[in-house]
Structure 1
Amino acid sequence: MPEKKTRQAAARDKRQGKSSSTQAGEYVHEEIEHVRKGKHGARSPQQAIAIGLSKARRAGVKVPRKKSSTKKASSKKASSRKRASTGKSASRKRATTKRSSAKRASASSRALRREGRGAASKRALSKQGKRAASKRSSASRSAAAKKAARTKGTRGRSAAAKKAARTRKRA
């Protein structure tokens, strides 16, 4: 269950008209903190992020599913993936109402507790972020930065400029 603080932060983001990925980011951040504090571990930063996104989806944030790879699988797999993303499959409807068994839930949480804490380290997360960014085109990254500057607002831009000036002084 996500913490109250996280749910409120995500709701604030939604009110401000921020994207679903920004809203989901609150849940991912909470998950990273859980790994750092030792509530449980994770095998990789991607696993910690996936757990956070899963929490966000369960909380009602409309996070899109992972895009399918460029290499198309057999047409049967592609059609079932399409059906799953639209929510028309019977199994998917059933999955929303049926809870997983207590035995399975406790087994997965036990397995997570056995994992290490290094997945949420600054170094690991930095490496993951750089790897994710390198998969995007330069134009895409530039457009995202421009949009961020536009949607930040006057106060936000001012704060960011001050922070940048502080970090430049240190370097």
Structure 2
Amino acid sequence: MVERVLDVTKGELCWMVGTIYMEMALKPNILEDIGRDFSIAPPPPPTKYRSANDMVVLEDESGRIVLVGDRLKREQFVTGVIMGALGIETPDGEFEVIDVCFADLAPQLQIEAPSSPGSWIALLSGLELSTSHPNSADTEMHLQLIVEHILAESGGLNDQELGSQISRVIIVGNSL
């Protein structure tokens, strides 16, 4: 294993570890967006951000090296992921990858659940309040059912018991 990405010796099999950077031509660039003339309509967004010309680069504090090889076609890479790569540096200065290795999750401590009932947080999503008619009976009925459930005023005894333990409500995606 080499200590740094730039310490690779041409023609010598070795492992190296670094951070993946995806060089993607179709990836949005905020600097290009800001630099455009506002009077010209922007081009339509691409249907996907990946292309056959994307480059996988492995970098560390010493520098970067472009990764190539058939092994890369079997993986889906994301910028920022730490990866180990086994391979050989080509005469062109690229790194021909034979195998890859990703860090596993660290061991997690088992945490016992409290035996007494605690408080719950209700997460609400998909309300789509602005897409339906705000004065429609259906919307009002749905909201009233949600409020009654959160206030533990509806359902059977079990539902009321669970509803009475809700201490917070967080409204998340697709709600407006």
The answer to whether the superposition gives a TM-score over 0.5 is no
Q: TM-score, normalised by structure 1?
A: 0.21
Rg bigger for which structure? 2
Q: TM-score, normalised by structure 2?
A: 0.20
Q: Higher RCO, 1 or 2 (CA under 8 Å, sep at least 6)?
A: 1
